[in-house]
Amino acid sequence: MHDVIHISIWALVGAAGMVVVAAIVSRILRLRLEKDLLVATLRAFVQLMVVGYILDWIFDVNRWFLVSAWIILMIGIASYNAMRRQTAHFPGLLPRFGLAIILSSAFSMAIGVGLIIHPSPFWNPQYLIPIGGMIIGNSMTAAALSINRLTSEMKTGRGAVEAALSLGASRHIATLPAMRASVKAGMLHIITNTMVVGLVHLPGMMTGQIVGGVDPGEAVRYQIIIMYILMTSNTLSALTSVMLIRGLYFNKRDQLVIPE
Amino acid sequence: MHHSKILELSGVGVRKRRSREDEYSWILRGLDLTVFAGERLALIGDSGSGKTTLLRVLADLEPIREGEILFNNTPVRDLNPSDYRRKVGLVQQTPALFDVDVEYNLQFAPKLENKEFSREELISLLAKVGLGEKLLGAKVETLSVGQAMRVAIARTLSMAPSVLLMDEPTSALDPLSSHKILELVKNLSREMAMTAVLVLHDMEFAKNGADRVALLHDGRIAACTGSKEFFSNPPTDLAKRFAEGLSRGGFDA
Ligand SMILES: Nc1ncnc2c1ncn2[C@@H]1O[C@H](COP(=O)(O)OP(=O)(O)O)[C@@H](O)[C@H]1O
Ligand SMILES: [Mg+2]
């Protein structure tokens, strides 16, 4: 990390000027997006500056409990976001998203960071925070996608689920096809991304490493590991969230009561 | 009717809402109905009167807010859902066949109990609903509407239920296939000594194919008598409207 150009506050203000182009387009086409653009611009600035200061501090102090606290905070925000992205809301979603994201990302961080990249100590924030963040973010997307799919399967496939119940099936057997479709929906997103990686766009982490002065050949190796880890964490996240949540659509008598 | 009561509903109420933001409204309220063992009961009523909801209540797919349902004198809520549903089988209005082949649909219920039909048993099950063995391996999306309805009936019969519930089994069929399906249901319930509750819009069949007729209105049973009497001497004005619909050649219920 030697030859990185320092970004001054004036460079940031200059970049914000780029947003003016978007604002002009919005004004000419009367898209009424000016306010949203302003809010997004300010939020990105404030959020990222705050995160930058906190991370600087965590990297400086360099203690395992601060790193853990940051990871836990990310998991909490990810679970909340997965819940907010649902088309149907019902009680019990948040803790189950939390558990699914914890299980899938803990497993993936342990194998991916602990065993494969193997920094010492394991919790070294330079590795665990960015890679953990990517794993958690992807687990969130997979969980949110698969549960949205599960809800729509329960709606459009209600007839088949109830036909199975009518034949004496338990809620678990009756939802097997819906479960498979939902886990698949959560997995497909990362598989598609992995197939085109490097061809269409350079992933964020690789870009960052290259700008940070790492040889592209080295950055690519990291990216390969990350993509493989993400395929696992996405799969686990989709699977566990579907397993934990599919029972919530039913009442105690195995009657399908959600979505209403 | 000298038969015993197989299903007895008292004061049954169901309320529903269209979304979590919506208000609840009562779909059924204070509904009393008795079904006798071995009878064919026709459920009739205007569209939206709650016929499908009542059938779903009987099939144990719809939660009830009030009232009680007895099955052979035992409260349904004390019975294990799977056990009850195996005895009271529902054929839905649009047959939701499982997305594999016909055989998979017919083996579904036995497999839940770790049993499997032999080829002979499958063929005789298909024969019961008037289908040939060639259809056994057919993918469900290749079936005609009438064939799909027959497979759905066979799928329910695979459990050998004591009560068969059917929701407008002929609503998607042309008159000739409708007639065949209704005759089939009539013969099956007779041969297998099966109780049947049929939601019907065909008044002709309600008159000739059912033992009793129950008229649903405003979420309750507005009239319930023997079918001959219902059509020759309608007990209420509303019943009269339905009975007269018959002489006008049927109307859309
Ligand atoms: N989820 C729901 N929320 C509110 N009302 C409903 C819901 N589902 C059905 N209904 C209403 O319940 C009434 C009875 O419906 P249904 O049992 O399908 O009647 P039928 O089969 O006699 O046509 C109708 O007025 C229908 O609009
Ligand atoms: Mg109906």
According to DSSP, the residues that pair with B5 across neighbouring strands are: B36
Length of chain B: 253
**Taking residues B93-100, what's their average pLDDT?**
94
Ligand 1: nearest atom to the Cα of B168 = 21
What's the confidence (pLDDT) of residue A205?
Answer: 83
CB atoms within 10 A of CB B247: 9
Take residue B16 and report the two structure tokens written for it: 């529903």
Examine the pLDDT at B248 and tell me if it is beyond 60: no
DSSP letter, residue A169: -
The mean-pLDDT minimum among A100-104, A146-150, B85-89, B167-171 falls in: B167-171
Examine the pLDDT at A201 and tell me if it is beyond 70: no
pLDDT band for position B173 (50/70/90)?
Answer: confident
Across the interface, do B63 and A251 touch by the CB < 8 Å criterion? yes
Across the interface, do B89 and A162 touch by the CB < 8 Å criterion? no
What's the confidence (pLDDT) of residue B188?
Answer: 87
String of DSSP letters for B128-164 = HTT--GGGGG-BGGGS-HHHHHHHHHHHHHTT--SEE
pLDDT band for position A2 (50/70/90)?
Answer: low
Examine the pLDDT at A235 and tell me if it is beyond 70: yes
- Provide the H-helix boundaries in chain A: 9-28, 34-61, 64-84, 93-109, 125-156, 158-166, 171-174, 176-196, 204-211, 216-245
Q: Are strands B212-217 and B220-226 parallel, antiparallel or unpaired?
A: antiparallel
The mean-pLDDT minimum among A30-39, B186-195, B240-249 falls in: B240-249
Is the Cβ–Cβ distance between B95 and B148 less than 8 Å? yes
Report how far Cα B167 is from the mean position of its chain's Cα atoms. 5
Take residue B72 and report the two structure tokens written for it: 């052979």
Q: Evaluate the omega torsion of the peptide bond into residue B234 and state whether it is cis, within 30 degrees of 0.
A: no
Across the interface, do A163 and B109 touch by the CB < 8 Å criterion? no
Neighbouring residues of A176: CB distance < 8 A, sequence distance ≥ 6: none
Across the interface, do B112 and A163 touch by the CB < 8 Å criterion? no
Take residue B85 and report the two structure tokens written for it: 């549903």
pLDDT band for position B2 (50/70/90)?
Answer: low
Q: Which of B102, B104, B110, B86 is nearest to B150 (CA)?
A: B102
Q: Which amino acid is at A160?
A: A
Examine the pLDDT at B252 and tell me if it is beyond 70: no
Q: Which of A86, A87, A161, A166 is the best residue to mutate to test the B interface, defined by the most B CB atoms within 10 Å of its own CB?
A: A166
Examine the pLDDT at A199 and tell me if it is beyond 90: no
Q: Which of B22, B99, B113 sits opposite A177 (nearest CB)?
A: B99
According to DSSP, the residues that pair with B89 across neighbouring strands are: B164
Take residue B8 and report the two structure tokens written for it: 């007895």
pLDDT in tens, A67-122: 999 999 999 999 999 999 999 999 999 999 999 999 999 999 999 999 999 998 99
Closest-approaching ligand to the CA atom of B54: 1
For the packed helices B119-128 and B102-112, what is the interaxial angle rounded to 10 degrees?
110
Helix (H, G, I), strand (E, B) or coil at A121: coil
Q: Is B161 on the interface with A (CB under 8 A)?
A: no
Take residue A59 and report the two structure tokens written for it: 């990297």
Take residue B17 and report the two structure tokens written for it: 């809402």
What's the confidence (pLDDT) of residue B246?
Answer: 67
Cα–Cα distance measured from residue A209 to residue A194, given in angstroms and rounded to the nearest whole number: 19
| DSSP run (H or E) holding B231 | helix B227-232
**B73 C-beta closer than 6 A to ligand 1:** no
Strands (E), B22-162: 25-36, 40-45, 66-71, 74-75, 88-91
Burial of B13 (0-12, 13-18, 19+ CB in 10 A): middle
Report how far Cα B180 is from the mean position of its chain's Cα atoms. 17
Burial of A240 (0-12, 13-18, 19+ CB in 10 A): buried
Q: Using a pLDDT cut of 90, give the percent of chain B over it.
A: 80
Take residue B105 and report the two structure tokens written for it: 């649909």
Q: Which of B82, B56, B57, B61 is nearest to B70 (CA)?
A: B57
Examine the pLDDT at B212 and tell me if it is beyond 90: yes
Residue in the structure block whose two tokens are 């064939």: B147
- Count the helices and strands in chain B (H runs, E runs): 9, 10
Q: Using a pLDDT cut of 70, give the percent of chain B over it.
A: 96
What's the confidence (pLDDT) of residue B135?
Answer: 97
Take residue B226 and report the two structure tokens written for it: 């023997």
**Taking residues B5-27, what's their average pLDDT?**
94
The mean-pLDDT minimum among B19-28, B74-83, B92-101, B242-251 falls in: B242-251
**Taking residues B177-193, what's their average pLDDT?**
87
Q: Which amino acid is at A95?
A: P
Examine the pLDDT at A194 and tell me if it is beyond 80: yes
CA gyration radius, chain A: 22
Among B12, B14, B15, B16, the mutation site with the greatest number of ligand 1 atoms within 8 A of its Cβ is B16
pLDDT band for position B249 (50/70/90)?
Answer: very low
Q: What ipTM describes this predicted complex?
A: 0.93
What's the confidence (pLDDT) of residue A153?
Answer: 96
Is the Cβ–Cβ distance between B102 and B175 less than 8 Å? no
DSSP letter, residue B24: P
CB atoms within 10 A of CB B17: 11
Q: Using a pLDDT cut of 90, give the percent of chain A over it.
A: 81
Q: Which residue would you say has higher pLDDT here, A122 or B178?
A: A122
Output the average pLDDT for chain A: 93
Q: Which amino acid is at B253?
A: A
According to DSSP, the residues that pair with B90 across neighbouring strands are: B165
Residue in the structure block whose two tokens are 């009756």: A174
The mean-pLDDT minimum among A134-138, A143-147, A204-208, A215-219 falls in: A204-208
Across the interface, do B98 and A177 touch by the CB < 8 Å criterion? yes
pLDDT in tens, B38-96: 999 999 999 999 999 999 999 999 999 999 999 999 999 999 999 999 999 999 999 99
Q: Chain A residues with CB inside 8 Å of B18's CB? A: 260
CB atoms within 10 A of CB A183: 23
**Taking residues B95-114, what's their average pLDDT?**
96
**B18 C-beta closer than 6 A to ligand 1:** yes
pLDDT in tens, A178-190: 999 999 999 998 8
**Taking residues B102-113, what's their average pLDDT?**
98
Length of chain A: 260
